[in-house]
Amino acid sequence: MKSKLKLYNTLTRKKQEFKPLHDKKVGIYSCGPTVYWYQHIGNLRTYIFSDILKRVLTYNGYKVKHVMNVTDVGHLTSDADEGEDKVEKAAKREHKNASEIANFYWKIFKQDFEKLNIIEPNIWCKATEHIKEMQELIKKLIDKGYTYETSDGIYFDTSKLKDYGKLARLRIEKLKAGKRVAMKEKRNKTDFVLWKFSKLGEKRQQEWNFLGRKGFPGWHIECSAMSMKYLGEQFDIHTGGTDHIPVHHTNEIAQSEAATGKIPAKFWMHGAFLTFKGEKVSKSKGGLYTLAELEKKGFSSLAYRYFCLTAHYRSQLEFSLENLKNAQNSYERLKNIIAEIKDDKKINKNYLEKFEKAINNDLDMPFAISILWELVRDKNVEGKLRTIKEMDKIFGLYLLEKEKIKVSTEIKKLIGKREKLRKEKKWKEADEIREKIKSLGFYINDTKEGPKLERLK
């Protein structure tokens, strides 16, 4: 790899050369979903961005440890530490318990990852399974004098830090003059809750004892405690959407810095919004589809992935069904052209170097895609297939597969069962399973590399 990897760091507002803290190992923490509802395609754009980041780091020879949280408690409906807990509210709506809700939407989220070919994190961490770590961190902050108590919780006093808000370059003076921040018993408008007390008379499904009272953690402390547990007091990269800059990540930095004296991550990277008519996709503005809804309209999830790669992660991307249709057409055309290529020459270094330069330039995927198109259209070049194969390690678009066969868990289980029977030389039973799989529309081709599925025509 000739080109150096440069990434944009929100903290410094600069593109910087990336150098890991520890040799060739890279720790990434990505703020994950709040599992109270389906994730919409806007959310998913942010996870496609962190997937590309991870693939580019791996391509550069780093060993990535990727941690993603699952927020199943403490994310309130209002950013001002008020309103209902989103997961508890959903549990009431669906007459289920909170953990059923969380597990249900988390499962769908993981299926979305599979459909979008997003590589799963090495560690998933659920907030409710890390209450002890959060309480310990809050105790540390109490001991160091960064907190105060009000009638509804334990708050972080942001005036105790001399440079609170540096990530977002918040102008605290301006905020002080602003009207819209609810103060109640808060000492400063930017103060935020670390631990919220359960309301008197309210029986929450998810609550824990802490300092003699029942309550639950604030959303920001979750990420500080869990990133610290799995990646240490300081790690390489923290990711999320741009909406996390002024509040969530600002507060994560405040807490961790107060507790350890260190900014938790070296690089802070943020994905820009998917927009609809120029504004963040939302219930009122529109564009708030899930992948399943897009599928019903005839769009493949990989076409959505392709669509996301046509914009730089730091630029907003305007969504419309028409824009997505155009992307799907291009993606299909691209795959059809590639399917016709027959050459097994060596990788084309010239194209690959240009491609590497693009991905290492702060993940410039639109440019990388244009290089791919240039390559497939170039009539005087050899080694196309192998070069495309390399590139697809980053794109993750199954460019060399004629058709990405979606296999249900039922079929996956049957294949596993059949393999076991074959190992035990129980041929008759194995054949019965082959027939069963046939009845589900697939043929098993036993190759040297193992069983391959083909769709029955």
Segment interacting with ligand AMP, rule: CB under 6 A, options 37-45, 210-218, 376-384, 404-412: 37-45
* 42 touches ligand AMP by CB under 6 A: yes
Tell me the closest approach of the beta carbon of residue 55 to Zn ion, in angstroms.
22
Residues 182-194: b if buried by 16+ CB within 10 A, e if exposed: eeeebebbbbbbb
Segment interacting with Zn ion, rule: CB under 5 A, options 23-31, 45-53, 146-154, 171-179: 23-31
Q: How many CB atoms lie within 10 A of CB 168?
A: 17
Tell me the closest approach of the beta carbon of residue 41 to ligand AMP, in angstroms.
8
Tell me the closest approach of the beta carbon of residue 368 to Zn ion, in angstroms.
28
* 240 touches ligand AMP by CB under 6 A: yes
Segment interacting with Zn ion, rule: CB under 5 A, options 28-36, 289-297, 326-334, 363-371: 28-36
* 46 touches ligand AMP by CB under 6 A: yes
Which of residues 18 and 29 has its CB atom nearest to Zn ion in the complex?
A: 29
**Binding site partner of 34, from ligand AMP, Zn ion, none, Cβ cut-off 5-8 A by kind:** ligand AMP
Element spanning 268, H or E: strand 265-271
Tell me the closest approach of the beta carbon of residue 222 to ligand AMP, in angstroms.
11
The Cα–Cα gap between 106 and 362 comes to 30
The Cα–Cα gap between 394 and 52 comes to 6
Task: Give the tokens for residue 118.
Answer: 């997003």
Tell me the closest approach of the beta carbon of residue 112 to ligand AMP, in angstroms.
12
Which of residues 236 and 392 has its CB atom nearest to Zn ion in the complex?
A: 236
DSSP conformation letters of 231-259: H-SSEEEEEEEGGGIIIIIHHHHHHHHHH
Burial level of 234, CB count in 10 A (0-12/13-18/19+)? middle
Query: Considering all CA atoms of the chain, what is the largest pairwise distance in Å, rounded to the nearest integer?
Result: 79
Q: Which residue is nearest to ligand AMP (CB)?
A: 241
Q: How many CB atoms lie within 10 A of CB 160?
A: 18
Sign of CA dihedral 274, 278, 280, 285: negative
Q: Which of 238, 244, 305, 418 binds ligand AMP (CB under 6 A)?
A: 244
* 31 touches ligand AMP by CB under 6 A: yes
Q: Which of 7, 26, 274, 399 binds ligand AMP (CB under 6 A)?
A: 274
Task: Give the tokens for residue 294.
Answer: 């897009």
CA 411 to chain centre: 28
Tell me the closest approach of the beta carbon of residue 363 to ligand AMP, in angstroms.
15
**Binding site partner of 281, from Zn ion, ligand AMP, none, Cβ cut-off 5-8 A by kind:** ligand AMP
Q: How many CB atoms lie within 10 A of CB 263?
A: 17
* 127 touches ligand AMP by CB under 6 A: no
The Cα–Cα gap between 213 and 149 comes to 12
Phi, psi of 384, rounded to the nearest 5 degrees: -60, -50
The Cα–Cα gap between 156 and 250 comes to 12
Which of residues 203 and 283 has its CB atom nearest to ligand AMP in the complex?
A: 283
Q: Which of 44, 68, 167, 223 binds Zn ion (CB under 5 A)?
A: 223
Q: Residues touching ligand AMP: how many (CB under 6 A)?
A: 16
* 280 touches ligand AMP by CB under 6 A: yes
Q: Which of 48, 247, 281, 308 binds ligand AMP (CB under 6 A)?
A: 281
**Binding site partner of 306, from ligand AMP, Zn ion, none, Cβ cut-off 5-8 A by kind:** none
* 31 touches Zn ion by CB under 5 A: yes
Tell me the closest approach of the beta carbon of residue 249 to Zn ion, in angstroms.
7
Query: Nearest Cα to 46, choosing from 252, 256, 316?
Result: 316
Which of residues 4 and 93 has its CB atom nearest to ligand AMP in the complex?
A: 93
Burial level of 114, CB count in 10 A (0-12/13-18/19+)? exposed
Q: Which of 273, 307, 355, 395 binds ligand AMP (CB under 6 A)?
A: 273
Cβ neighbours for 93, distance < 8 A, ≥ 6 positions apart: none
**CB contact at 8 A, 138 and 195:** yes
Pairing of β 25-30 and β 82-85: unpaired
**Binding site partner of 138, from Zn ion, ligand AMP, none, Cβ cut-off 5-8 A by kind:** none
Which residues form the interface with ligand AMP (CB under 6 A)? 31, 33-34, 42-43, 45-46, 240-241, 243-244, 271, 273-274, 280-281
Which residues form the interface with Zn ion (CB under 5 A)? 31, 223
